[in-house]
Amino acid sequence: MSNGQTTASKDLVQLDEAVLDGLQKQELDAQPVLYSGAKVLTLDPVVGDMPTADVLIGGPTVVGVGPGLLTAADDDGMYVVPCAGLTIVPAVVDHLAVQGLRSARDQRVGTLAPGMPATFAVLPTELAADLNAAVETMSKHPEQVLAFVADGVARSWNGRSLHAAAPAGDELRDPSDSPYLGMWIDETGFLHQELTADGRYDETRGGRPNAFQGKFWIDGERIDYLDDLGFWAFGDFREGVLFHAGYVLRRR
């Protein structure tokens, strides 16, 4: 199934806008998507870089990369995003993986090898001649990135965001609505952490009151702390237990 083409003017190459609606439906249905015909910098020392290749994604994962995948598009119900003349690079660059310093392949999260997260960018090739040029474009000129894809979902298209930005701390859910308010105590009894409805926390450590105090924000199962001393920390709630900075806390 081939869908549209890239379009170009004298100064600007863009992805086909007509492809986007079908792409978003395919993502919603968790069907395979093929970004086809691009130069691909996988940054994986085994797979290598490819002058013309396809990147096949299934859900949040790269499931195939290389030339020839397009031949199975109809058989496998792939939605094809034409990328001829463009370059695909990982959006998160793992410099340890680039230098071959990861001991196991499944640790090379900043690559486009099969099995890795489908998190990448599609750029005009003239802005991504090599890794350094691609990183500079992504970081300094994101409006020139044709698509950012995060965990298999297109987050931007032709320089514009497709999703609302993550809320800033003060815009997160009202803490008074949180089911996690109250006193949390670690297994040894050393750490007591109280979360109050005004979005403040207060820690007692070893019987020493007000050891740390500050603001907190809860987003889903994650809690972020901004201490009055200026440092940030985090924790996560799992099955009624709070894991924070090496402590395991339960509500009392």
Token output for 192: 């007591």
Strand 86-90 to 208-219 pairing = unpaired
pLDDT exceeds cutoff 60 at 54: yes
Phi, psi of 106 (to 5 degrees): -75, -5
Tell me which fold the domain 169-251 belongs to: Lipocalin (2.40.128)
Phi and psi angles of residue 109, each rounded to the nearest 5 degrees, phi first: -70, -20
pLDDT greater than 70 at residue 102: yes
What are the residue ranges spanned by the domains of the chain? 7-161, 169-251
Spatial distance between the Cα atoms of 209 and 224, rounded to a whole number of angstroms:
21
Please give the Cα distance from 61 to 109 (Å, whole number): 11
- 174 in Cβ contact with 168 (< 8 Å): no
Q: What is the pLDDT of residues 162-197, one digit of tens each?
A: 976 655 555 556 787 899 999 999 999 999 999 999
What are the tens digits of pLDDT across the range 198-252? 999 999 999 999 999 999 999 999 999 999 999 999 999 999 999 999 999 999 9
How far apart are the C-alpha atoms of 194 and 223, rounded to whole Å?
A: 13
Task: Name the fold adopted by 7-161.
Answer: Urease, subunit C; domain 1 (2.30.40)
pLDDT confidence of residue 9: 42
The per-residue b/e assignment along 194-218, b for 16 or more CB within 10 angstroms, e otherwise, is ebeeebebbbbeeeeeeebebbbbb
Backbone angles phi, psi at 24, to 5 degrees: -65, -35
CB-CB contact of 64 with 121 (8 Å)? no
Instruction: Work out the percent of the chain whose per-residue pLDDT is above 70.
Output: 91
pLDDT digits (tens, 9 = 90+) for 84-97: 999 999 999 888 87
Strand partners, 26: none
Q: What is the pTM of this model?
A: 0.76
